[in-house]
Amino acid sequence: MTRQITAADLERAISGHQIEPAFQPLIRLDEDTTVGYEVLARWTDPVFGPVSPIDFIAIAEEHSLIGKLTRQIIAKACQHATSLDRNATLAFNLSPVQLRNATLFNDVSGAIAKAGVPFERVVIEITESALIDDESLALATIRKFKQAGFGIALDDFGTGFSSLTRLHSFPFDKLKIDASFVRTMETDPGSRKIVAAVVGLGQSLGMSVVAEGVETAAQLFILKRLGCDIGQGYLLGRPMPAAQLVDHSLYPPGKMPSRRGVISPLIKLHQLETIYQGAPIALAFLDTAGRYVSANDRYARVIGEERTCLIGQSAADAFAEGRRAVVARIARRILAGRPVIEREVVNRRTNRSYVLSCSRIVDDGGDVLGLSISLIDVTRRKLAEAALRADEEHFRLAIEVSPNVAWAARTTGEVYYMSPALSGGAHVAVEDRISNWYERMHAEDRVRVRQEWLATISDGTSFQTEFRILWSDDRWRWVRSEAVLAPGADGKAHRWFGVMTDITARRALEEQVDRLQNRVGNSADEILQLFRL
């Protein structure tokens, strides 16, 4: 530009319809869908080229051209609304100067009605500074828009002079967080806290919250984590001329996003407090100085203090004076990002056992907020483990002193356990017991027993056989070996469990009976032979 734009230049541009609307998408962050557009004014002069809105809007306000310009932009934008989804909103900015005009509502609503666009699809955006000059007139005008069905948004929130009283008094539907806070969220903890506070404030008052100036993926991630409703910025979509709206699909054909319920921070607070207090474990949170910020009743009972008395105390004070420095050092290590500590501790006062876990809490920017402590009561588990170990020891000793041989094999047939009775005592390693038991079997029985075993594991039936084996006292004994398939938790067979029983005495008795039967049988034959003679 070689010279300043004048009011005459602007008036000529308005009359010549050189100023056109541009449409910047408004993206609903929880579903990544476009819900509307903010309409912006763009002027490309045939002589001067592109003219910044900062320049020509100021001239329009100063020379009473802002009303004519606004009506023209609204009319043009509404003409293109027919190419948009019928649920897409159009947001228009109104100047603070315009709010002083008592005919503003009639001018704006008339232009929109003439274009045939329902008022419910239009959002009027007003900056905080517009509310200062004549608050009563501004409130009356805004209420007219609200009663007619328009949506009302407070633009650039955080940079003006709005009090909570004004925010509560005016019928706003949306809060728009100023882009300056959004752009510095990644590097400035203060900006992150302001954005989080505005999101919470708006939602607590039943308003949707729009974040302006979203330009990076990190900013978008933080906003989603904070629960911000809508995003706007170059990352999500640049302002586009009306000709590109046809190619900018709002929703997939025939599909509209479901409107999920917005949970305000107040509801979230009570929800988390209920979860916190109802948790089956002891929970507490410490700030970076090691002081209790919150604790549930279960934690207070473990510590032996009233919960209300814990808040504000140093966690190190609960330990003996000689241990406080150690506790403080451990806390500093965790806050510095060292590995999370998890260990078993015993409350000497109650003689109960707990698993203690400490984790540092950081926000989306990496700033440390404090320490989270959890204590899980494992007393019953410890007692059960002790009882189980005692049972296992009893079972192990019972097997070791048993005259029978317990054994176990995998479903494929490999033996992986053999009790010590066969090998001469528990001092013999399990591996050695397994490796030599088959060699101890009588050579005449090995092939037969091997075939019987392979046949059994192939069809999954119970196993039973008898054979001779060299016992630990170097004497041959007859044994009966029996086994069944044991199912696992999934109901499928996981292993064979078996036992070898010494049947040497039984076999000897059976052989004696056979011999006696043979002798009796022979004597009877001799007597019958004599009678025949």
- Residues classed as catalytic: 212
Give the contacts of 443 (CB within 8 A, at least 6 positions apart). none
- How is the chain split among helix, strand and coil, in percent rounded to 5? 45, 25, 30
- Residue 319 carries which DSSP code? S
Residues 363, 192: contact at Cβ < 8 Å?
Answer: yes
Residues 484, 457: contact at Cβ < 8 Å?
Answer: no
Q: Is 126 exposed, middle or buried (0-12, 13-18, 19+ CB in 10 A)?
A: buried
Q: Is 280 exposed, middle or buried (0-12, 13-18, 19+ CB in 10 A)?
A: exposed
The residue count of the chain comes to: 533
The candidate with the shortest Cα–Cα distance to 187, out of 346, 366, 451, 425, is 366
Residue 253: CB atoms within 10 A of its CB come to 5
The candidate with the shortest Cα–Cα distance to 61, out of 87, 97, 33, is 97
Sheet with 352-362, side-by-side order of all strands? 292-295, 282-286, 368-377, 352-362, 341-347
Residue 294, CA distances (Å) to 14, 232, 314, 442 in order: 61, 36, 12, 74
Helix axes 66-79, 53-62, angle to 10 degrees: 130
Query: How far is Cα 308 from Cα 312, in angstroms, rounded to an integer?
Result: 9
Q: Left, alpha or beta for 227 (phi > 0: left; psi -120 to 50: alpha)?
A: left
Residues 195, 167: contact at Cβ < 8 Å?
Answer: no
The candidate with the shortest Cα–Cα distance to 139, out of 172, 174, 161, is 172
Beta strands in 95-143 (DSSP E): 122-127
